[in-house]
Structure 1
């Protein structure tokens, strides 16, 4: 009887034949074996809509990012579509706010009117809508306050999140992205959408959203800074990796179609943990503070901006992200960093 063949031994790390540099010898070889690439279809671009006409108001802390009226926003969306970006994440800045964020529940809200206008001009562009109340409440927190606790009432907020989701779906949103960090929010939103004829609308949950200092400039553009306290009683503790994984796995069980980690740069270990624990697509939000720091360094002339930007974006893909939500999306394409 012929004995089975002896399996080949793996290369010894001491072998004189191992020279990884051989595959870095010239640009064509490096491109041939490159393991991660950026593509324009990886990106979603956050945009901010406000009341008025012909408004394009640049945010001092975020150069190149604007508050835009609906007419200006539509022109921006047309440019985004021409660049090959598949979609936007839309945030609303209402004229009037109250303690319950009631503007967000109105069928003629600033965001609902913006969705309708975008869909007329760019019907193929994905309109992903942020679902939260911090931009709409007079106190800047993410839902209805429990005055005794001095924090957000989780279950009361679930009810208005579900109502807001239906309103946005009726307006034509392609995807709902809840960011309120309430327990069981995905379950409540999924049930509301399904029972209202919107079972086809996916949910991209901000499933692991940290209570981070990187959000500072966002609160300038979205006008959503809390009037008191902070959001640590409902957003994730930055020190807790196991809890971060648990939060995303719970949202997946509740029906989230896409899971998200926010912020990006300081939490790539969390992206990797979630990517290894689930088969769901993973989004990463390259947030305002990360954007602003890079822009400041560019202005100061202390970095090779294009190369650092490419390194940051590739690090997201390398960690396991499938979708990159970034204010850099347009320039990444214009700079030739994407296929």
Structure 2
């Protein structure tokens, strides 16, 4: 607490001397979680979306309508001043396991990927990238990425920069049993990217059920994890992925953007979780396309993150009582 008071005193002194605002003066004393100087831009206006997803990647008209809905949300995010728009799993195409089953809808079998309209998927992705450049809007959306036959595709998040380039792609690593057995090839690595000095990571699908992936992103010094999913979000299971997103944000002291489908919104709408595990903003809980926008403030003090890093190291070793019989005797009263 003393160090905190001293920091505030030094910041106020600089602000009084230079005429800067408190936030501007703070930037000269604070560093990012990576130990780097605070970037010039210390906030990120993030828009998180929900929309109805297309279950059949072979339905050309539906794919074009999906692209149209995404571009409409991009324009809405741009009007709201967003720097980045985050969309859910399968925003462009979210293949249904029964529709894709080569053995018919009554039996879930290996997916028949020849039925996917890959040219239209690629064309819609290019149109989205073109609009991202026009709006100067980073756009992260879920779709499928083909691999060389006979390999199954990846289920992915495409990261489109504000110049319209696909700067990177995250492929879901922790797949459900059906996904890995019949539908997709798993990814192999985490992905991070930086927007205005703020570092972001990606997760997708059911990966909120694997806290080790989010701890990995904490070690990679991310400020925000973009988690895109397709539920679950039903009254029966109480939307566990949304609850897990809150817990993971609090446990790792970073923001989590939770993007889900409009179909799941009545039980778990899209939203943004603070590093304390609270919802900063959420979309309406109705099954319709929508965005929610918030400013993520990198200058906000978060003493929990460095403390937890120290605690996960050897901080407690000097306090442990390895040579005390009263400590070693587990049955002692």
Q: Normalised by the shorter chain, which TM-score bucket?
A: 0.3 to 0.5
Normalised TM-score (structure 2): 0.40
Would you tell me which structure has more helix in proportion to its own residues? 1
Normalised TM-score (structure 1): 0.40
